[in-house]
Structure 1
């Protein structure tokens, strides 16, 4: 189960809506080994595409160095789908290289970025997709 604060949940959704019609992407880092998402890190979709996302390799390397320095790890890796449901595509699965991470998908498919949306979380390990519950807790 993914437990996430209301503030982080709201920031992911806001990022997905702001970048619509392109896919949004980012990371929520947390203390290594804790499984707690704490630090919101929106990333640029280097592909600038409504059907595909790609982290900029230079930005991603800098983020991993920063997380290393802070003794953090990627707890949540998120992106949005603007034309399909919030479910990992084959491409998403092929990019899922963090077996300990929660992969969050937000779909803004039928909303033009403004209306109702889907917010779902998955574990993706060795190409196997497992949906998990999301528990949103008050921000402290």
Structure 2
């Protein structure tokens, strides 16, 4: 049986959680880029939730275009695409599925529901390919 896993550093894990808590009660969103073809998340890129909403997120189209051009120039790809849920569990919604257009990426969700952003949280990772959601294990390491 194939075990799917996201491996990321404690520093990246902490940055994703901190961004999710800081933007609460709105959903936070961002990307962690890595060298193309490696699957290794390295560069934390917090993005602005253009919707500024507690129930959904939206990348600003101009910011997203700039990000993809920058990643292309740096020979990077999006390894993790993350966002937070502020009122529900860390599981992809129908809207999240409609936005999931990077089949090679790990989709990380952090739930800050019922905590005012400061308390316990859920941190889960999924692969989303053609609308099919597969949860994967998360391994946090000190360094690669």
Fold similarity call, TM over 0.5: yes
Distance 2:8 2:113 in 1: 23
Structure 1 segments unaligned to the other structure (5+ residues): none
- Residue aligning to 1:115: 119
- Residue aligning to 1:59: 63
- Residue aligning to 1:132: 136
Distance 1:52 1:86 in 2: 13
How far off is 1:139 after superposition?
3.7
- Written as runs of structure 1 = structure 2, the 5 A alignment for 1:39-118 is 39-118=43-122
Q: Secondary structure at the match of 1:133?
A: strand
How far off is 1:110 after superposition?
1.4
- Runs of 4+ more than 4 Å apart: none
How far off is 1:95 after superposition?
0.4
How far off is 1:96 after superposition?
0.1
Q: Secondary structure at the match of 2:140?
A: strand
Structure 2 segments unaligned to the other structure (5+ residues): none
Q: TM-score, normalised by structure 2?
A: 0.96
- Residue aligning to 2:40: 36
In the alignment of these two chains, the number of paired residues is: 140
Alpha-carbon RMSD across the aligned residues, in angstroms, is 0.7
